[in-house]
A and B are shown apart, each in its own frame.
With several copies, the nearest count.
Chain A
Amino acid sequence: MNTVGSLNEENHEINLSCYIDSFPILKNPVRDKRLVYLDTAASAQKPDIVINTINDFYKTEYANIHRGVYWLSERATVKYEMARKKVAEFLDAASETEIVFTKSATESINLVASSWGGKNLSTNDEVIITELEHHANIVPWHILRESTGIVIKSVRLDDNGCIDLNHFYELLSEKTKLLSLTHASNALGIIPPIKEMISAAHSLGALVLIDGCQGAVHQPVSVQDMDADFYVFSGHKLYGPTGIGVLYAKSNILQDMPPYQGGGDMIVTVSTQESTYADPPLRFEAGTPNIVGAIGLSAAIDFVTNIGMHNISNYEDTLLKYGREKLGELNYIKFYGDASNKASIISFDIDGVHPHDVGTILDQDGISVRVGHHCAQPVMQHFGIAGTVRASFALYNTKEDIDLLINGVEKVRSIFT
């Protein structure tokens, strides 16, 4: 894996097709057809290096961490902590002590809501979210509202599905304590102007959480540069294993947060009546963590950084442009969230066909797209629809995949007319 793709001489587009072979699942036919996997926004497929790392670790190095003084446990601990360091570098965090391993981005946001929110927010404090958010960045605030009486304000979208910035500035005030914002919409691909919004929020003293599930997988991220106070993402969307997520939080903020869950490894002393708690990040990692998940994620980060997040981003942009063009030639397609700067996600529907029927029929040809509300019902409510068809592109997709999608869409349409 030494080459970083190759340049197509004609139009200077980057080509990552040399990496497709790294993904064993893509070699397995589905319903006797080649798998055309267009659901990476839900979860990415895994390269050999990730699968083999997991396999080898269980076969040769496995042990529980942090408390054992024997060789295997010492080694496992070092590898787990090296994974933390790798994540810190990947996000350009100031220190690896700012990285907490969780089970998922969803848990990371719940941790912030419960621990930071539970301590710092009270009646009438305002949390601003947007209509672009995934349920993972909505429901935790509803749950927090029940115990604290916070007020949740939601930034509207314009007709394209972009953030209505005027509305954002209307909502933003001294009462705002937190802006919790997606780095990129999983339902539409839309990327909000996060830098502007972060600095506006900061100027009024609010903190900012960025839900990086679709952002960190698509482009290089520097939490220091964007000045996010919290940043979360999920390993399984970054070509890593399931059951591992990340919470980044600035040191001084993390230091002041009370524990979220209690148990082994997050304590200094325990009696039956009192506990004292360890420093971050361990304070937030109660119990045996997903050791192998963290180590698998570390391998995934090696994989993508070896290719280069810039290259991935460029390549995915190429696919997005091509897909948008090709689908745009079909006059019965309606797009949702059409914009130029997007994560590599196209959301659309076919006139007269329910998205679920589209999904089922495409699947007959091995074409795997997601249909429905994509855990982002407010986006659907905004457009007044029940769901969309969503094709999302990853480094292992090709223009041929898109051509096959187009064929499939044409078939669907022909069945229904």
Chain B
Amino acid sequence: MLDLRELYQEVILDHGKSPRNFGQLEDKNTEAHGHNPLCGDTITIYLHITDEIIKDIRFEGKGCAISLASASMMTELLKGKTTKEASKLFGKFHALVAEDKEVNNFETDNEEFEKLHVLAGVKEYPMRVKCATLPWHTFKAAVENNNGKVSTE
């Protein structure tokens, strides 16, 4: 079991204080808004998708260190991926932080995804799992918005 304080230190140092890809996205063609009623945290994900490829991704919002770090790492991981790959990665991430079963297949993870392992400690905190997954759920909603209709912006 990860000591959460270690997790916090790494997260804070690496992403919480200076989140990557933070702020508006000028040429977004889809976006979605997420809200965590437990803590009142909010997040907006902006995407530019062309030919099912995530050309650009940025986020804005207020939140705890865990949700900010998760959002920051997610944007780094997903930029340049196809939406299909992204959806697979969401599945993996969900298993990592939210599912009961021991996840053994992480030896297959590439280095990129391994960075996200620092968030695995939240699994012990069901209430905080939402903090880590909120950016991902919001990302998914944004992709679906884009599928459903051409964004008017």
Q: Does B113 contact A (CB under 8 A)?
A: no
Contacting residue for A77 out of B9, B65, B127, CB 8 A: B127
A278 within 8 A of B: yes
Shortest CB–CB separation between residue B131 and chain A, in angstroms? 7
Contacts of B66 in A (CB 8 A): 356-357, 360
- Tell me if A357 and B127 are in contact (CB < 8 A): no
B37 at the interface (CB under 8 A from A): yes
Interface size on A, residues (CB 8 A): 29
Given contacts A372-B38, A411-B5, could you give 6 more A-B pairs where the C-beta distance is less than 8 Å? A73-B127, A267-B37, A355-B64, A356-B38, A371-B39, A386-B41
| CB atoms of A74 and B127 under 8 A apart | yes
Which 9 A-B residue pairs are closest in the complex by CB-CB distance? A386-B40, A354-B64, A356-B64, A69-B127, A268-B37, A357-B65, A356-B39, A357-B64, A415-B8
Chain A residues, Cβ within 8 Å of B125: 69, 74, 360
Tell me which residues across on chain A come within 8 A of B40, comparing CB atoms. Answer: 372-373, 377, 380, 386-387
Please name the residue on chain A nearest to B131 by beta carbon: A356
- Find chain A residues with CB under 8 A from B63 CB: 354
B4 within 8 A of A: yes
Q: Contact residues of B with A, CB < 8 Å? A: 3-5, 8-9, 12, 35, 37-41, 62-66, 124-128, 131
Encode A347-366 as 1/0 by CB contact (under 8 A) with B.
Answer: 00000011111001100100
Give the docked Cα–Cα distance between A411 and B8 (Å): 12
Whether the Cβ atoms of B126 and A78 lie closer than 8 Å is yes
| Contact (Cβ within 8 A) B3 A364 | yes
> Mostly helix, strand, loop or mixed at chain A's interface?
mixed
Smallest beta-carbon distance A365→chain B, Å:
10
With A69-B125, A74-B125, A354-B63: A361-B4 Cβ-Cβ less than 8 Å: yes
List which A50-100 residues lie within 8 A (CB) of chain B: 67-69, 73-74, 77-78
- Are B38 and A415 neighbours in the complex by a CB distance under 8 Å? no
A-B contact list, 19 entries, CB within 8 Å: A67-B127, A69-B125, A77-B127, A268-B35, A269-B37, A278-B37, A353-B65, A356-B38, A356-B128, A360-B128, A364-B3, A364-B5, A371-B39, A373-B40, A386-B41, A386-B62, A415-B8, A415-B12, A416-B65
- Evaluate whether A415 and B37 lie within 8 angstroms (CB atoms) in the complex, with A69-B125, A354-B63 already known: no
Q: Report how far A364 CA is from B63 CA in the complex, Å.
A: 21
Instruction: Please tell me if the beta carbons of B8 and A361 are within 8 angstroms of each other in the complex.
Output: yes
Chain A positions within 8 Å of B5 at CB level: 361, 364, 411, 415
Residues of chain B lying within 8 A (CB to CB) of residue A364: 3-5
Contacts of B131 in A (CB 8 A): 356
Which residues of chain A from 367 to 417 have any CB-CB distance to chain B below 8 Å in the complex?
Answer: 371-373, 377, 380, 386-387, 411, 415-416
Instruction: Tell me how far the C-beta of B64 lies from the nearest C-beta in chain A, rounded to whole angstroms.
Output: 4
Residues in A neighbouring B126, C-beta threshold 8 A: 74, 77-78
- Docked Cα-Cα span, A269 to B37, in Å, equals 7
Q: How far is the CA of A411 from the CA of B4 in the complex (A)?
A: 13
Which chain B positions have C-beta within 8 A of A373?
A: 39-40
B12 touches A387 (CB 8 A): no
The smallest beta-carbon distance between B33 and chain A, in angstroms, is 13
Residue of A73, A78, A415 with most partner-chain B CB within 10 A: A415
- Identify which of A278, A355, A356, A416 gathers the most chain B CB atoms within 10 Å of its CB: A356
Residues in B with CB closer than 8 Å to A77 are 126-127
Residues of the B chain whose Cβ atoms lie less than 8 Å from the Cβ of A353? 65
Residue of A nearest to B11 (CB): A357
Among residues of A, the one whose C-beta sits closest to the C-beta of B66 is A357
With a cutoff of 8 Å between Cβ atoms, the chain A residues found around residue B4 in the complex are 360-361, 364
Expressed in whole angstroms, the Cα–Cα distance for A22 and B79 within the complex equals: 57
Residues on the B chain within 8 Å of A69, using CB: 125, 127-128
| CA–CA, A360 and B66, complex, Å | 10
Min CB distance A146 to B, Å, is 22
Chain A residue with the shortest CB-CB distance to B6: A415
CB distance from B129 to the nearest CB of A (A): 10
What separation, in Å, do the CA atoms of A411 and B41 have in the docked complex?
A: 24
A359 CB to closest chain B CB (Å) equals: 9
User: Once the chains are docked, how many angstroms separate the CA of A387 from the CA of B42?
Assistant: 13
Contact with B along A130-155 (1 / 0, CB 8 A): 00000000000000000000000000
Report the bound CA distance from A355 to B8 in whole Å.
14
The distance in angstroms between the C-alpha atoms of A267 and B41, with both chains bound, is: 15
Residues in chain B near residue A67, CB distance under 8 A: 38, 127
A373 to B36, CA, bound (A): 12
